[in-house]
Amino acid sequence: MDTQTLTTFFMWCTIFNGGVLILWTFFFMFAPDYVYRLQSKWFPLPRETFDVVIYSLLGLFKLVFIAFSLVPYLALLMIG
């Protein structure tokens, strides 16, 4: 596999994962009650616990996105 193929792969990974991160963030910024009502049908949690879980997972996803999508893409751009 050449550098150009890897750069293209990580570019699309960054675009897709960034889109998921932005969508997830907007849902919890602008419709938190709707998301809680939807999820509480499957997972009966108190609202405070739900908020902690969601924000923790959002933070974890952001860290994983940066470490495994954005940083490799930027590194490949720098060496390419």
- DSSP letters of 13-66? HHHHHHHHHHHHHHHHHH-HHHHHHHHHTTS---HHHHHHHHHHHHHHHHHHHI
Is residue 1 very low, low, confident or very high in pLDDT (cuts 50, 70, 90)?
A: confident
Is residue 58 very low, low, confident or very high in pLDDT (cuts 50, 70, 90)?
A: very high
Higher pLDDT, 70 or 80: 70
Q: What is the pLDDT of residue 23?
A: 97
Distance CA 22, CA 26 (A): 6
Q: What is the pLDDT of residue 80?
A: 83
What is the domain range of residue 37? 3-79
The rounded radius of gyration (Å) of the Cα atoms in the chain is: 17
Q: What is the pTM of this model?
A: 0.89
What CA–CA distances, in Å, run from 12 to 1, 18, 33?
16, 10, 32
- Count the domains in the chain: 1
Average pLDDT, integer, range 17-38: 96
Q: What is the pLDDT of residue 78?
A: 96
